[in-house]
Amino acid sequence: MEHVGPIQEGEKKLLRQQILRFLSWTEEMFNLREKYLMEPKELVLYLHPTVKEKQLRQVKRLLKRLPKDGAENSVKEIVPCHVSTNVDEKTLGDEHLLLVSSEGLPNLASGVRDEHLHHNDMTELLSKALEQISDLQRIVGEQAAWRVEVEKELTRRELHETQMSFVIEDLRQKIATQDTIIETLREQLAKKENSTQNEFNKRSLQDSIYVSESPVKRSAVHPLISDSKEMNKLGSTVAKRVAINSRVKSRPHKTECYKSYAEDLLTHQRMKPRKVISTLARDPTRPSLFPSLTASQKAAVDDAQCCDGIRSMSDIVVCIDEAFVYRAAFKTLEPGGLLDDMVIDAYMRILDNQQREWGPPHQKRTYYGSSHLHQFMRKCVMERKFSYGVPVHTNSAGFDIYASDRVFIPVNRSGVHWYLVEVDLLRRKVTILDSMRPRRTEKIALEIRTLLAGLEYVFEGKQLEGGHSYNFRD
């Protein structure tokens, strides 16, 4: 082939414009021509399927004008991209239809096609894109898991807020109930103060009438009154000592266990339980045990018995001194219920308060024991605690048992029935008040003997030890 000459700059520009849709090998070919001028290389031309026949002829014409300088081969044939790909896949021996032999062109033969610049770039871009897609999928999965956890946490918080709202509402209702109870107690306290003041005014009026009607001179009234008070006090003191001495027999104090002392009770014919039927005359000056209720008191009773599921059964509905009654215990007052010991203790405190307000000041008071006194006495006797003598002076209400004439002790039998034991310390008499009289009194005789043994040991121990009292509660 005849050498035509070097390609001018205008022809190079025309060639670039003609093959815009080819793969960009032409620019690389002209840029690397000077570098690979002395090294014979091979170049693979991949043509686009849309290349026209006229353009192919122009490319061939330009390629023929490249400097050969001893090259033997030239472009044999240029075909579209899909045809060249099919031919290359068949690997037909040494026939390279798309090879251009030249000393000034880079060697990009079929054996090194995988190193083609654009092919490697596309592979690398595809690999990076796949890695980014994998990372994005992992991030999306983490975001979905985090969203599920956040939704669970929000659900749990909403449930907690709902529960707290119910708890707060329940506490508000309890506070309102306590405020109502406090208001009721204040009203009762105000009524008691008014009644006490009225009673004091009545007694003062009676004393003034007595003094005005007396024939004695007014100057001599006060000495007579003071002398009479001193005589009454002296007489009551003498009566106390005589009564106590009549109950106590002279015998040395035993330091042995209480079991032997309890056995000696029957031998010495001490206090024995016996059936006594007596009628107690009612004092017209004392208030009734069952006074009529006011409207506010009836409302408080209805509120205490009401339980609609919102109010707790452990709410305190009655509080008298140190005795309190829960709502569940208060409901045992309904017909057919087993009376709770809290109700018994509260009623004992009511009787004690009435005695403190209405009882005569010159008489001894009555000791109202708690519902657990009998069980405690039995436990102390069985464990022989009385032989050691634990000292105590007052009960839970602050009242000394040694300043009493009578002792009332409620006793629970078999957990289903209550009866009352009255111990008259002056007359040495025991009265059992039972609405269901047992057929055989021997059934409760042992319990009564245990109770009396503890009481007698306490009172006799006080005198034998020179005024040192013994506890039957702890």
Same domain? For 258 and 373 the reply is yes
**Band (458; pLDDT cuts 50, 70, 90):** low
Helix (H) / strand (E) containing 368: strand 365-368
Last residue of a domain, one of 338, 358, 378: 358
Share of the chain above pLDDT 90, in %: 1
- 224 lies in a domain? no
Give the domain extent around 383: 254-280+361-474
Looking at the structure, do residues 272 and 373 belong to the same domain, yes or no? yes
Distance CA 252, CA 250 (A): 7
Could you give the number of structural domains in the chain?
A: 3
Q: Give the orientation angle of helix 295-305 with respect to helix 117-213, to 10 degrees.
A: 140
Q: Give the pLDDT score at 390.
A: 46
pLDDT of residue 325: 80
Q: Which residue has the higher pLDDT, 263 or 60?
A: 60
Are 436 and 474 found together in one domain? yes
pLDDT at residue 134 tops 60: yes
Q: What is d(CA 430, CA 409) in angstroms, rounded to the nearest whole number?
A: 11
396 and 303 within one domain: no
The identity of residue 402, as a single letter, is Y
What is the structure's pLDDT at 204? 64
N-term to C-term CA, the chain:
135
Token look-up 């209702």 returns 173
- Answer yes or no: is pLDDT of 450 > 50: yes
Give residue 367's Cα distance to chain centre: 42
Average pLDDT over residues 111-131: 59
pLDDT higher for 229 or 427?
Answer: 427
In angstroms, the CA 292 to CA 65 distance is 135
Contact indicator for 311, 302 with CB cutoff of 8 Å: no
Residue range 439-453: average pLDDT? 71
> Quick check: is 339 in a domain?
yes
Residues in the chain: 474
Domain boundary among 92, 115, 138: 115
Query: Which of these, 243, 242, 266, 253, lies nearest to 452 by C-alpha position?
Result: 266
Residue with token string 């009332």? 408
Q: Is residue 399 part of a domain?
A: yes
- Residue 243 resides in a domain: no
Same domain, 259 and 313: no
By C-alpha distance, which of 290, 348, 347, 298 is closest to 306? 298
More confident residue, 141 or 89: 141
Of 310, 327, 358, the residue that ends a domain is 358
**How far is residue 184's CA from residue 176's CA, in Å, rounded to a whole number?**
12
Per-residue pLDDT at 230 exceeds 70: no
- Residues 449/264, Cβ–Cβ less than 8 Å: no
Is the same domain home to 312 and 370? Answer: no
Q: Rounded mean pLDDT of the chain?
A: 62
Q: Are 297 and 339 in a shared domain? A: yes
- Determine the Cα angle at 371 with ends 422 and 255, to 5°: 75
pTM above 0.75, yes or no: no
My answer on whether 396 and 463 are in the same domain is: yes
